[in-house]
Amino acid sequence: MKYMKQMCLILFIWAIGEYLSMWLSPIFFIPGNILGMFILFTCLLTEVIKESQIKELSQFFLDHMALFFIPLAVNLVAQTINGDWALLFIITLIVTPIVMVSTTFVTDKLMSMSKKGGQKHV
């Protein structure tokens, strides 16, 4: 239940930021989420909102922050290689065996040098 209260508080501040953004847009444009973060920051500094009022939800968001960036990263990669799927596939088919063979060759050489020299550390 405390997560719901904290979420409602944060969403309320976000909504105020969105409303201010629409109201201020003829003068200058600042995204509503940025205004909301500024309002939340100001409320925390002036202690209108206590840290304890949003602590658990904030910690949850911080603990799972990486999950929030996955859709953004997938979309960025998809846009970057858009139309180049065939080329990427061909390059992968060619480069993978080259890497495997060269890794095998280097490992064999290092192992034979290690046996000849009697060194245990390479």
- Per-residue pLDDT tens digits for 28-43: 899 999 999 999 999 9
- Interatomic CA distance for residues 93 and 74, integer angstroms: 22
Q: Look at residue 115 in the predicted model and tell me its pLDDT.
A: 84
pTM of the complete model: 0.58
**CA 108 to the chain's CA centroid:** 39
Token pair belonging to 46: 């002036």
Per residue in 100-121, pLDDT (tens digit) is 999 999 999 999 988 877 655 5
The CA-CA-CA angle for residues 107, 109, 113, to 5°, reads: 115
Q: How many C-beta neighbours within 10 Å does residue 86 have? A: 8
